[in-house]
Structure 1
Amino acid sequence: MIDPNLITIGLCTYHRQEVTDTLDSLTKIVIPEGKQIQIVIADNSVDANSKALIESYADQSPLAIHYLHAPASNISIARNACLEWALNYSQYLIFLDDDEFVVKNWLCAHLDTAQREQADVVIGPVLGMYPEQAPEWVKALDLQSVKEPIISPNGKIETANSGNTLINLDFIRQHPLRFDLEYGRSGGEDSIFFRQLTMQGGTIAFSEQAEASEHVPLARTEYNWLYQRRFRCGQTHGKMLLLDNPSTFNRLKQIFLAGAKAGFSYVYTLRFINQETSQKYFWKLRVALHLGVVSGLSGKQHLTQYGSNH
């Protein structure tokens, strides 16, 4: 039975002990009068790696926590498991990553924005917290933070990620969208999902007060990891360009534009070739992004970044 006053918070986890830190932060949030929350955690590991940890935590927690085993090594399977669960109980599902922690008024901000703007989706900022050993250029570029949405030329938010995102499940009941398994090991499944939602008439709003933060692992501050990440983001963007217009003409046009942007970005890196500045790495990662767009438009297989322990 669907309870309009029950909000489901969905966490997808994979070999990550920090999920209990996320749960700790959720015990401190303000819950609006008349509302209740439940937490569903989808464990995406083959061996149900987090089951004992989560069930032990749940036994001692005031939170209503439900564990799901949703294998294996494909984040879309876990996201869909949370979605299917929430559809049976709630009007709203809020996805939160298993290494994030939230501010006290996080839930209130999400709900206030959804109701005030009559939005089908609300996204909040995610602030990256970097280890002291991280390179200074990484801290300067702050690529792990999502501080504001990307606004399309028509003035609307047309896609989102799922790191700190509310979904009005009434829209999903009318438009049975699911996260695509094809992108479940590469990432980008959330961008595709929310782009399909807006293409079917859904609306996305942004709540600056619905803030989450995350500790960035040192491994994710390495240049090679960031390069692959930007390349994969480009691949996803290329796929979304074809969602809008799958014609051969549009594909060739977008490949030409992305290739030209990659070339321009590469030339710009030469200005900083003998300098260790954030601008040098900014333009090098722009090259990766645009090359990824070319790859996505060309139908190449996405890079696999999900499924490792970091």
Structure 2
Amino acid sequence: MSPDPASVTEHARSAGLKPETVRVAVTLPTFRRPDHLVMTLDSLQAQGLGADTAIIVMDNDAEGLAGARAAAEWFQTSYVKGIVIVAHQRGNCHAYNAGWETALAEFPRLTHIAVIDDDEIAGPGWLTGLMRTAQKTGADLVGGPQVPVFADKALDGWRRHPVFTPHYAETGLVPILYSSGNVLISRPVLDMMPRPFLDPAFNFIGGGDSDFYRRAKASGFNFAWSAEAAVMETLMSRRAEFSWLNARSLRNGAISSILEKRQWPGLQGRVRTFAKSLALLAAAPWRGLRLGLKTGSAVIGLYHLQVALGRLMEEFGLVNEQYRNPESN
């Protein structure tokens, strides 16, 4: 089911955009980060994009429109072409879905969609790296590292926390991906997967991307990792605070429980998920001790315990909607 057309409106469009020439659309969701959004757009322009690549900016703040206005102004002076849309329904899944649907509707010769977030900076050769890995491996979906960069350099030690570390280290085929903040998706995936692509049930807790990847894998699509296609994710100081790290770790546990229940529906699946949660809780102290010794941080060592507790809390409907108040995220 496609989104209601009235929930997505066009805010601006580059003069001279030729939709029939576009093969790759870079989709860029934004919410109340106009200054960093411009930095992200500048990093995309530095890729040396050709006429076969366009950018779609999806502003999810229909009331403020700061991102939409900033992007529209940026396109007026950039050689890179693109479209700025407004996703009126709040939630990151709605924003992603609006951008992907727009790309499919606007560009008849589209072969791939790439995704970067508005708190990220594309590294040199980012898009080339993703495309090269897709061609080399034949993968339908290719992910890359989101390298954490704290605004306060004194906090760089927190980059060792599992919530910030990339899932893979080497380029090549991988079992599955987990994040949509740096990914390339081929047209056949989008053509086959049911709409909406990302389930709005995950709008404010996150995990819509992981759910999408699980369903894509079940449909027979394969995945790869491109170690050279890095983006730098700008992290505010609050993400090094215990309250944020605890909330994110608990949320990760809840999401893993939700996804497993979807994969194993019914009473038997629920029992299986609960048993796994108990097993993880039992193993958490020992796993946490190893992690704490490895990183030299007792706070980081709590991660496995927090994930296990998050899974158990989800059994009772206690799931932290960390994206409900984005200003505190």
Q: Same fold (TM over 0.5)?
A: yes
Written as runs of structure 1 = structure 2, the 5 A alignment for 1:253-292 is 253-266=272-285, 278-292=296-310
The answer to whether structure 1 residue 206 and structure 2 residue 225 are counterparts is yes
- Choose the corresponding residue for 1:93, options 107, 113, 117: 113
The answer to whether structure 1 residue 126 and structure 2 residue 146 are counterparts is yes
Look up the match of 2:95: 78
Where 1:69 maps in the other structure, the secondary structure is strand
User: In 2 relative to 1, CA 107–301 (structure 1 residues): closer, same or farther, beyond 3 Å?
Assistant: same
Where 2:306 maps in the other structure, the secondary structure is helix
User: In 2 relative to 1, CA 228–26 (structure 1 residues): closer, same or farther, beyond 3 Å?
Assistant: same
Look up the match of 2:70: 53
- Choose the corresponding residue for 1:196, options 200, 206, 215: 215
Conserved 8 A contact 1:4-1:91? no
Instruction: Give the AA of the match of 1:40.
Output: I
Per-residue CA deviation, residues 194-247 of structure 1 (Å, 9 max, x unaligned), is 111111111111111111111111111111111111111111111221232223
* Structure 2 Cα separation of the partners of residues 210 and 270 of structure 1: 33
Conserved 8 A contact 1:121-1:167? yes
The answer to whether structure 1 residue 10 and structure 2 residue 30 are counterparts is no
Where 2:302 maps in the other structure, the secondary structure is helix
* Structure 2 Cα separation of the partners of residues 235 and 99 of structure 1: 24
* Structure 2 Cα separation of the partners of residues 265 and 131 of structure 1: 31
* Structure 1 Cα separation of the partners of residues 320 and 207 of structure 2: 10
Written as runs of structure 1 = structure 2, the 5 A alignment for 1:108-119 is 108-119=128-139
* Structure 2 Cα separation of the partners of residues 96 and 78 of structure 1: 12
TM-score relative to the length of structure 1: 0.87
* Structure 2 Cα separation of the partners of residues 287 and 126 of structure 1: 24
* Structure 1 Cα separation of the partners of residues 59 and 30 of structure 2: 5
* Structure 2 Cα separation of the partners of residues 157 and 228 of structure 1: 27
Which moves more between the two structures, 71-80 or 12-21?
A: 71-80
Look up the match of 2:235: 216
As a proportion of its length, which structure holds more helix? Answer: 2
* Structure 2 Cα separation of the partners of residues 145 and 220 of structure 1: 14
User: In 2 relative to 1, CA 190–125 (structure 1 residues): closer, same or farther, beyond 3 Å?
Assistant: same
Look up the match of 2:176: 158
Look up the match of 2:127: 107
Per-residue CA deviation, residues 78-114 of structure 1 (Å, 9 max, x unaligned), is 0000110111212110010111111221111111111
Which moves more between the two structures, 249-258 or 188-197?
A: 249-258
Look up the match of 2:54: 38
* Structure 2 Cα separation of the partners of residues 259 and 97 of structure 1: 35
User: In 2 relative to 1, CA 243–24 (structure 1 residues): closer, same or farther, beyond 3 Å?
Assistant: same
Instruction: Give the AA of the match of 1:239.
Output: I
1:5 Cα deviation from its structure 2 partner: 5.4
* Structure 1 Cα separation of the partners of residues 159 and 142 of structure 2: 27
* Structure 2 Cα separation of the partners of residues 288 and 294 of structure 1: 10
Instruction: Give the AA of the match of 1:124.
Output: G
User: In 2 relative to 1, CA 202–3 (structure 1 residues): closer, same or farther, beyond 3 Å?
Assistant: farther
Conserved 8 A contact 1:119-1:203? yes
1:135 Cα deviation from its structure 2 partner: 4.4
Paired residues in the alignment total 301
Conserved 8 A contact 1:238-1:295? no
Conserved 8 A contact 2:116-2:183? yes
* Same amino acid, percent of matched pairs: 23
User: In 2 relative to 1, CA 133–246 (structure 1 residues): closer, same or farther, beyond 3 Å?
Assistant: same
Where 2:115 maps in the other structure, the secondary structure is strand
